[in-house]
Amino acid sequence: MNKKTVYRQKYIWMITFAAAMGGFLFGYDFVVIGGAKPFYEPYFDLITPTQKGWGTSSAIVGCILGTLMCVLLSDKLGRKRLLIFSGFLFGLSALGTALAGSFFAFNAYRLIGGIAMGAALNLSPMYIAEIAPADKRGVLVTINQLMIMIGVLTAQIVNLLISKLDTELIASPTTQMIKESWSGQLGWRWMFGAEAIPALIFFILMFIVPESVRWLVKNGQEKQALRILKKMGGDKYAAEAVRDIRLTISQENVAKVNFKELLNRKILKLIGLGVFLAFLQQWSGINVVIYYAADIFQAAGFNLQEMMVQIVAIGLVMLLSVLITIFTVEKLGRRKLLLLATSLMAVVYGLIGGGFYTANTGISIVVMMLLNVMLYSLSLAPLFWVVLSEIYPNRIRGAAMSIGATAHWVANFLLTFSFPTIKETIGWANNFWLYGLICLLGFIVLYFYLPETKGKTLEDIEREIAD
Where along the chain do its domains lie? 1-209, 259-467
Sorted by sequence, the CB contacts under 8 Å of residue 276 that are 6+ apart come out as 445
pLDDT of residue 465: 58
* Helices first, then strands: H and E counts in the chain: 21, 0
One digit per residue, the tens of pLDDT, for the chain of length 467 reads 445 677 788 899 999 999 999 999 999 999 999 899 999 999 999 999 999 999 999 999 999 999 889 888 888 898 999 999 999 999 999 999 999 999 999 999 999 999 999 999 889 988 888 888 877 776 787 788 889 989 999 999 999 999 999 988 877 788 999 999 999 999 999 999 999 999 999 999 999 999 988 889 888 898 999 999 888 888 888 888 888 888 877 766 655 556 666 677 777 888 888 899 999 999 998 888 888 888 888 888 888 888 888 889 998 998 888 788 777 766 777 788 899 999 999 999 999 999 999 988 888 898 999 999 999 988 888 788 777 767 776 566 667 777 888 888 899 999 999 999 999 999 999 999 999 999 999 999 999 988 776 665 555 665 665 55
Sorted by sequence, the CB contacts under 8 Å of residue 331 that are 6+ apart come out as none
pLDDT of residue 394: 59
**CATH architecture, range 259-467:** Up-down Bundle (1.20)
In the chain, the amino acid numbered 139 is: V
- Asked if 232 contacts 7 with a C-beta cutoff of 8 angstroms, the reply is yes
One fold for 1-209 and 259-467: yes
Burial 169-200 (b: 16+ CB within 10 A, else e): beeebeeeebbebbbbebbbbbbbbbbbebbe
Q: What is the pTM of this model?
A: 0.84
Q: How many residues does the chain have?
A: 467
pLDDT of residue 4: 66
In the chain, the amino acid numbered 214 is: R
Write the CATH number of the domain with boundaries 1-209.
1.20.1250.20
pLDDT of residue 93: 98
Kindly write down the DSSP assignment for every residue of 35-53, as one continuous string: HHHHHHHHHTT--SHHHHH
